[in-house]
Amino acid sequence: MRSALLIFLGFLFCVSADSALAEKRVALVVGMSNYRQVPRLANPARDAEAMSALFKKVGFDVVDSERDLGISDLRRVIREFAEISRDADISVVYYAGHGIEVDGTNYLVPADAKLLSDFDIEDETVSLDRVLKALDPVKRLKLVILDACRDNPFAKTMKRSVASRSIGRGLAKIEPAMSDTLIAFAAKAGAVANDGDGQNSPFATALVKYIAEPGLDLRLAFGRVRDDVLKSTANRQEPFVYGSLGGQTMALVPQTAKPADPEAEARIDYELAAQVGTREAWDSFLASHRTGLYANLARAQNSKLSAAQQTRIKADDARREAEEQAAQKAAELRRQLEEQSTRQTAEAKQKLSEQAKKGLGGSAAPGCRTGEKGTGRSQTSGRACPATGGCRAAASRGSQTSGYCGCPASGRTSQARG
C-alpha cells in the first residue's frame, strides 16, 4: 500500500514538473550599438548576446535576437513578436541601447534615428507602450527589461518645437496597467545607467547571474540584481522594477524536477528499524531490502550491535573472573585466620596447662596421697613417689585424719598421720 502511494505521489510530482517545463517561453532580444548619428555604444551588442545565450541555455522556445535595427525593422520585429507571444505563457523583451523620455513617455531609439527635432520622436522611435501592447495576450508573465537609461546624446542637439515640451534625463517612471507585468530599468526613473569598464554593463552582468536561476522568484532575482549593481557602481546606479505580480512564485526557469528516489521505501523502512534499534529489527529490514545504500547501512548497524554485544560479553566475563578471584582470596584469608585462631587457642591452652602443672607440682607429687598438703613425700619413709611425682591429699590441712601415700609403681603405701 505504501509503495503504491509513493508511486502515485511521484507520478503527480512528475506531471506537475512536466507541465511547468511545457510552458511556452519566448524572448525578444535587441541590442543597439552602431548608431549612425551619434557615437557608437560598445556594450549593448555584447549585453544582448549574453542575454540571448542565457535564454537559449535555459530552454526558451523562441529567442529572437536582433542587432542595430532601423525604425522600420524595429517596428516589424515587435509586430512579429506580438504574434509569437499570443499563445505564450512567459514573454520577455530585453532592449539595450539608447532610450529617451519625452513628456513622461518612454521611447526606444533605433540605430538610424536622427531626432533633429522633438517633433520627430513619434516617427523615428518606438514607444514603450507599443512594446507592452505586443505582450498583452501573454498568459502568465510579461517582462520588459530596459538597459536604456544612458545619457542621451540626442537631447543635446534636438530642437524644441514646443518650448514647454519636457525631454527628461534617463527614463520616466511607469506604472503598467496590465496585470502580471514587470518592467525593469537599469537605473531608477530620472537616473542614468553606467556602461561600466567590463565586457558587459553592470546591469547585464547581474541579470545573467540571477534571473534564470531555477525556481528563484523574479522579485527576489531583481532584488539581487539591484544589490550587485549598487555594489559594483559604488551606489551610483540603482536598478528599479515597476509593476506587480500575484502571490505565487514566478520564476523564468522552473525548479529542476528531482528524479524519483528509487530507495524511498527502503529509507522509510530504515527509519522504522532505526527507531527499534535491535538486531532482530535490522535482520527484518535486510530480509526485505537486500541491496542498496540502506541495506549496507543496516549491515553496518548490525555489525555495530554485534561488536557492542561482544564487548559486553567480555566485560561480563572479566567481572565474573574478578569476582571469583576476590572470593578465592577471601576464602584463603578466612582459612588463614581460622588456622591462626586455632593455633593461638591451642598455644593458650598449652600455656594454661603448663601453668597449672607448675602450680600443682609444689604441693604433692601426682599419684601419691599424703596427709599433709605440699610435702610429696611419705611421712614414713620421706621419699617421693617416683611414678606419679606427688601425692593427693587425703584430708585437709590441720585435720586429724590419716592419709596414705601410695606409689603405683612400687605398689607400696605408707600411712601418714595428721
State whether 63 and 104 are in the same domain.
Answer: yes
CA atoms within 13 A on the CB side of 303: 6
State whether 274 and 381 are in the same domain.
Answer: no
Helix spans in 43-181 (H) = 43-57, 71-84, 121-124, 128-134, 154-157
Q: What is the pLDDT of residue 90?
A: 95
State whether 111 and 74 are in the same domain.
Answer: yes
CA–CA distance, 42 with 55 (Å, rounded to integer): 22
User: Using 50, 70 and 90 to split pLDDT, how confident is the model at 277?
Assistant: confident
The answer to whether position 256 is within a domain reads no
Q: pLDDT digit string (tens) for 9-45?
A: 454 444 444 444 568 999 999 999 999 999 898 899 9
Which of 244, 276, 298 terminates a domain? The answer is 244
Torsion of CA 150, 151, 153, 156, to 10 degrees: 150
Range of the domain at 286: 264-313
Kindly tell me the burial class for residue 389, based on how many C-beta atoms sit within 10 Å of its own C-beta (0-12, 13-18, 19 or more): middle
Residues 155-184, mean pLDDT to the nearest whole number: 79
State whether 91 and 188 are in the same domain.
Answer: yes
Phi, psi for residue 182 in degrees, rounded to 5: -125, 140
Residues 156-178, mean pLDDT to the nearest whole number: 76
Overall number of domains in the chain: 3
Lowest mean pLDDT among 72-81, 89-98, 148-157, 278-287: 148-157
Q: What is the pLDDT of residue 127?
A: 94
Res. 320: pLDDT tops 80 = yes
State whether 160 and 297 are in the same domain.
Answer: no
Q: pLDDT digit string (tens) for 371-403?
A: 444 444 444 444 444 444 444 444 444 444 444
State whether 289 and 235 are in the same domain.
Answer: no
Q: What is the pLDDT of residue 384?
A: 47
Res. 1: pLDDT tops 50 = no
* C-alpha grid cell, residue 277: 534499534
Scanning the structure block, which residue is given the C-alpha cell 510552458?
23
- In angstroms, the Cα distances linking 59 to 207, 314, 382, 388 are 17, 65, 149, 136
- Residue 380 CA to its chain's centroid (Å): 121
Question: Which comes out higher in pLDDT, residue 7 or 157?
Answer: 157
The answer to whether position 271 is within a domain reads yes
The answer to whether position 51 is within a domain reads yes
Res. 199: pLDDT tops 60 = yes
Among 82-96, 139-153, 357-371, name the most confident range: 82-96
State whether 201 and 292 are in the same domain.
Answer: no
CB 189 within 8 A of CB 175: no
State whether 238 and 284 are in the same domain.
Answer: no
CATH code: domain of residue 106: 3.40.50.1460
State whether 154 and 227 are in the same domain.
Answer: yes
The answer to whether position 321 is within a domain reads no
State whether 152 and 110 are in the same domain.
Answer: yes
The answer to whether position 63 is within a domain reads yes
State whether 143 and 58 are in the same domain.
Answer: yes
CA–CA distance, 136 with 360 (Å, rounded to integer): 144
Q: Are strands 126-127 and 99-102 parallel, antiparallel or unpaired?
A: unpaired
The answer to whether position 337 is within a domain reads no
- Mean pLDDT over the full length of the chain: 81
Residue 188: strand, helix, or coil: coil
State whether 27 and 154 are in the same domain.
Answer: yes
